[in-house]
Amino acid sequence: MVQVRNLVFARGERMIFDGIDLDIARGSVTAIMGPSGTGKTTLLKLIGGQLCPQSGSITVDGENVPGLGISALYKLRQRMGMMFQSGALLTDMSVFDNIAFPIREHTDLPETLVRDLVLMKLQAVGLRGASNLMPNELSGGMARRVAMARAIALDPMMVMYDEPFTGQDPISKGIVVKLIHELNAALGLTSIVVSHDVQETAAIADYVYLLSGGKVVDQGAPDSLWESASEWSQQFLNGEPDGPVPFHYPAPAFRDDLIGGGRRA
């Protein structure tokens, strides 16, 4: 479904991706994992065409995303669903209208059919009874599920989930994990899950890419990564505070910084 080759992307002088390759298999749940600040959300924006790389190719369902014109990109995006990290619900619209919005925007369906579709999506995430609530009346877990229902409103070929487990209590987290897995199977989706929640993501992923320092540092089926000889993989998967990814942000020697600061004062 998605093929990334020799992708290079930088923000100013900071290199985010330095020649990475990835393949997202059709019908799979693929996880993109790594510490905060490694460009996981940026990768989703590149796949969706919100950002353009300095070089390299990004192909989605056979189409080269960076080379598409506005109209072609718009059509391709209609076949992608996106669950944003914050949920990004429209605060002045009810739950029902949040999910109806993309259907009304992109189709000419009569309101009776829009209503049926919205209720079907809400039923799928267990929130049909919350259709008349406003976003500020929802718990964090409920808001994520509404965002998930909106992401599948147009029956996309692929859904991208940006940190779907962040800030969730254990019950809500378990529900979201279950929904991603079940929706992917029931709807024949291709799912990309960006996360740094190791256990939850590994429970549903068919394949995992670990990113750090602008590179793919490890990849494979979840079980194989725990047996990896990579020190970086072991540090990340086991939550060790220091290792190839240092605890301290790069800085001068502490003694030199203290002495130099005293002299400046």
| Phi and psi, residue 138, nearest 5° | -100, 150
Spans of the chain, pLDDT less than 50: 262-265
SS3 content of the chain, % helix, strand, coil (to 5): 40, 25, 35
Domain boundaries, the chain: 2-91+157-228
Give the rounded distance of the alpha carbon of 165 from its chain centre.
10
HSE (side-chain half, CA atoms, 13 Å) at 119: 7
In this prediction, residue 239 carries a pLDDT of 61
Q: Which CATH superfamily is domain 2-91+157-228 in?
A: P-loop containing nucleotide triphosphate hydrolases (3.40.50.300)
**Pairwise CA distance, residues 219 & 21, whole Å:** 11
**Pairwise CA distance, residues 135 & 94, whole Å:** 7
Is this model's pTM higher than 0.75 or not?
yes
**Pairwise CA distance, residues 33 & 64, whole Å:** 24
User: Each residue of 197-208: pLDDT tens digit?
Assistant: 777 888 889 999
Longest dimension (CA), the chain: 74
